[in-house]
Chains A and B, each alone.
Chain A
Amino acid sequence: MRMAEASKDRGFDWNRHFRAFGAAYAFLAIVLADSLLNKNFFALNTFWNLSIQALPVLLTALGMLLVISTGGIDISVGSIMAVAGVLCAQSLTGQLPIGGGSVPGAMFLGLAVATLIGAFSGLLIAWFRIQPVIVTLVLYIAGRGVAQLMSDGGTIVFYGTRFNDMGVARLPGNVPIQLVVEVVFVLATAFILKKSTFGYYVQAIGENPAASTLSGIRTKSVLVAVYALSGFMAGLAGIFTSARSSCADPNTLGALAEMDAIAAVAIGGTSMNGGKSRVMGTIFGAMIIQLVTITINMNNIHYAYARILKGLIIIAAVYLQREKKR
């Protein structure tokens, strides 16, 4: 008895381990399953494809991670993707007087509007104390409406433009440009959350908003910044998605992206109540979401199964990472 207790004391804390690395394990498990199912899986191309296709879910998940860490949620990211994508496309194709048809100008326009929409959510949440679900739900509904109105409901196509080139650009060594963007934003998010005062504040607000204010944190400004960042990330995701497919469809661009982003954060082990942000977990969560889709496609299985599988993975991940009662 004594011996057993002693070893338990020094023993490995599996619960804690799973909370930190659960998503990484799940990712490896799926990779393993894939390599068994499909002999061609371990080609470099699969990796390039994954990194290209994972960009929207990864970027929106990083933004969502900040939001969820404050104890909030952002349902509007999919609609923001649509607004940013459509705006950018219109500016490029000369349908708008702003942006001047240049790629940087168009991107700036899309990103600026996406960031403003996010900041607007933050404003309503922080100053008017409306619940985040409600505020972003309103923008989820209205945002897509705006995108559809802007383009009269039609798809904007821009084959062969420089913008389109950017979406499919490869660096030396065949590295897709998306991978570079992903690395940059992953590192930036990790840096913000682990090293900056802003990152501390984000997590502190999620842990205890009353104590945050009393500790001198300007909680309202932090909230606005967080939702603005989430909007910015959604904007970037929307722009890259439309650049890659050389069209912006206001009806489908970013549809259900918010759900994937939330799922990625949940799989990554960040509590929906806010607090500790898990960046690594979120990255693997996003990769899992995308990998499941790819797996289903590669094996010619109906897409409906991907959704069921994602559901099961979320349940399993959240179960492994739950707070054990002591």
Chain B
Amino acid sequence: MSERVLLEMRQIDKRFPGVHALDHVDFKVRAGEIHALMGENGAGKSTLMKVLTGLYAKDSGEILLDGKPVSFHSPLESQRAGVSTIYQEINLIPYLSVAENIFLGRQPLNRTGIDWRAMEARAGKILAEMGVDVDVTQELRRCGTAIQQMIAIARAIFSDARLVVMDEPTSSLDEKETAVLFQQMRRLKEQGLAIIFISHRLDEIFEICDTVTILKDGKLVEERPVERLTKLELVSKMIGRDASDVLRRKNGGYDAAGKRTVLEARNVANEVKLRGINVTVRAGEVVGLAGLLGSGRTEFARVAFGQDGDYTGELEINGQPVRFKSPRGAIDRGLAYCAEDRKVEGIFPHMSVRENMTIAILPKISRFGILNAKKQDEIVERYIRSLNIKTPGAGQQIHNLSGGNQQKVLLARWLCMEPDLIILDEPTRGIDVGAKSEIESLIQEIAGRGIGVLLISSELEELVRNCHRVVVIRDGRNVGDLEGGSISEENIMERIAQGAAKEEGHENG
């Protein structure tokens, strides 16, 4: 790592209505370093990067690239100056081929136009180097999410960039793919590029980054080399309080005696992914649903909720056999499902916190189709207070809230219907450590009130911390059931792996 400063942002200031998003922030990146930008959701990381790439206009401050003052008015301008960005949400074009996506806007040309053969050959070579095995002529939408992410990365890396901004590039990658990405990042670093890396996964910061800059509430907290920082220090600086109680195991024991069963699923299967899932959740119990991505966790939840059509097997809610044709029916019987993807299936971005929170219970708080505004306000105010939702008011449009607070509004949407069972699908994905801890406490509180909780999560520690029981599934069927003290990351992984071994026919222990 050299000491040559590649990017310097000085005294950057940015206000949105009601929010001081960046308060005179200084930020410096040197050539040949991987620089982590850390902070809770709403700390200003994304805003700072959007100011850098020209998506937002800054109110004051200056930006120097290679010592020269620059001011980008659009992402295109910053790209041309060598600043390349990989966003959390993949922004490629689904109906173009893999090769076209990599070379979009700078396709190799020959006399008749685009030199398809050269383009495809080069794309193939680039991806092969990255260890991605994919047919570059196929349409992008036919590739899996992880592959798409790698293609986005390939596109950013091979665009003559001097500075690459990666905003949570690993959120949809598995371990192997992450390793490939890191290998590429190290290569770029050796070539003298600088990388700004944003991730909520602390381990990754310590594995790959050289320097950390921490933001909180729009202000710079500190810049420090990674080797002089411990994980605990990092977390406590990000959330601004003592971190020792943040990551503690939350749940007490669970006494099943005398508790009624709220959900009983027997042999639920469909023609798509489910091969026979059995799950029981009792009142006040937190049951984890563990398994790899694509193992059928989310599919089971959606089928049970009446969202995804036909299935075989039986489903009972509170001992009554049910078969929902639509989410409305499920909701009316006391079932709630907080979906996995907040943006796509959760929020109504331009509607208010009030409207977002009460959309599922409107029939309950209206008469003859006319809304009782007083009842609505009472409920909304109550949940804003009890869930500690940070919003200027109930009328605020939800897209102005931070990710963690949006998630709390969505939880409130389901809690205010007073369900018997709530299915939480990745409730802490993409939110910061502080909000995560709050939501985990909330899960315990929900269970404490006698609501059954089915928790779907990719993060094993989260399951270990929160669950009374964990059901492990693989390829659409149960492969294990862990209870109380036997719930550990090792045990969960072992069940998933054993399930794999059985399938392949080598039994080895």
Is A207 in contact with B371, judged by CB distance below 8 angstroms? no
Closest CB in chain B relative to A111 CB, distance in Å: 21
The distance in angstroms between the C-alpha atoms of A210 and B349, with both chains bound, is 13
Is A208 in contact with B366, judged by CB distance below 8 angstroms? no
Considering only residues 79-104 of chain B, those with a C-beta below 8 Å from chain A are none
The distance in angstroms between the C-alpha atoms of A201 and B13, with both chains bound, is 39
Cβ-defined partner of B370 (8 Å) among A9, A195, A208, A326: A195
Is A213 in contact with B327, judged by CB distance below 8 angstroms? yes
Given the known interface contacts A208-B348, A215-B413, the answer about A197 and B60 at a Cβ–Cβ threshold of 8 Å is no
The distance in angstroms between the C-alpha atoms of A200 and B13, with both chains bound, is 37
Is A197 in contact with B362, judged by CB distance below 8 angstroms? yes
Closest CB in chain B relative to A149 CB, distance in Å: 39
Is B60 in contact with A1, judged by CB distance below 8 angstroms? yes
Considering only residues 301-336 of chain B, those with a C-beta below 8 Å from chain A are 305, 307, 326-328, 330-332
Can you name the residue of chain B whose Cβ is closest to the Cβ of A208? Answer: B348
Chain B hits for A213, CB < 8 A: 307, 326-327
Contact string against B for A residues 241-269, beta-carbon threshold 8 Å, 1 for contact and 0 otherwise: 00000000000000000000000000000
Chain B hits for A275, CB < 8 A: 348, 350-351
B interface residue count range (under 10 / 10 to 19 / 20 to 34 / 35 or more): 35 or more
The distance in angstroms between the C-alpha atoms of A224 and B330, with both chains bound, is 22
Is A207 in contact with B349, judged by CB distance below 8 angstroms? yes
Is A9 in contact with B15, judged by CB distance below 8 angstroms? yes
A302 is an interface residue with CB less than 8 A from chain B = no
Can you name the residue of chain A whose Cβ is closest to the Cβ of B17? Answer: A13
Closest CB in chain A relative to B158 CB, distance in Å: 28
Dominant secondary structure at the A interface: helix
Chain B hits for A207, CB < 8 A: 348-351
Number of A-B contacts (CB under 8 A): 88
Is B15 in contact with A5, judged by CB distance below 8 angstroms? yes
Is B370 in contact with A196, judged by CB distance below 8 angstroms? yes
A276 is an interface residue with CB less than 8 A from chain B = yes
Chain A hits for B332, CB < 8 A: 216
Can you name the residue of chain A whose Cβ is closest to the Cβ of B342? Answer: A211
Cβ-defined partner of A208 (8 Å) among B326, B328, B349, B363: B349
Is B371 in contact with A200, judged by CB distance below 8 angstroms? yes
A322 is an interface residue with CB less than 8 A from chain B = no
B300 is an interface residue with CB less than 8 A from chain A = no
Closest CB in chain A relative to B391 CB, distance in Å: 18
Closest CB in chain A relative to B389 CB, distance in Å: 18
Chain B hits for A196, CB < 8 A: 366, 369-371
Considering only residues 334-357 of chain B, those with a C-beta below 8 Å from chain A are 337, 339, 344-351, 355
Cβ-defined partner of A200 (8 Å) among B330, B331, B347, B359: B359
Which of A5, A8, A216 is most buried by chain B, counting CB atoms within 10 A of its CB? A216
Chain B hits for A129, CB < 8 A: none
Cβ-defined partner of A210 (8 Å) among B15, B330, B345, B366: B345
Chain B hits for A276, CB < 8 A: 350-351
Closest CB in chain B relative to A66 CB, distance in Å: 15
Is B360 in contact with A216, judged by CB distance below 8 angstroms? yes
B190 is an interface residue with CB less than 8 A from chain A = no
Is A198 in contact with B350, judged by CB distance below 8 angstroms? no
A325 is an interface residue with CB less than 8 A from chain B = yes
A218 is an interface residue with CB less than 8 A from chain B = yes
- Provide 11 A-B residue pairs closer than 8 Å at the C-beta atoms, listed in order of the A residue: A196-B366, A207-B349, A208-B347, A211-B344, A211-B347, A212-B348, A214-B339, A216-B331, A216-B332, A325-B56, A326-B56
Which residues of chain A have a CB within 8 Å of any CB of chain B? 1, 5, 8-9, 13, 195-198, 200-201, 203-204, 207-208, 210-218, 275-276, 325-326
Which residues of chain B have a CB within 8 Å of any CB of chain A? 13, 15-17, 55-57, 59-60, 305, 307, 326-328, 330-332, 337, 339, 344-351, 355, 359-360, 362-363, 366, 369-371, 373, 413
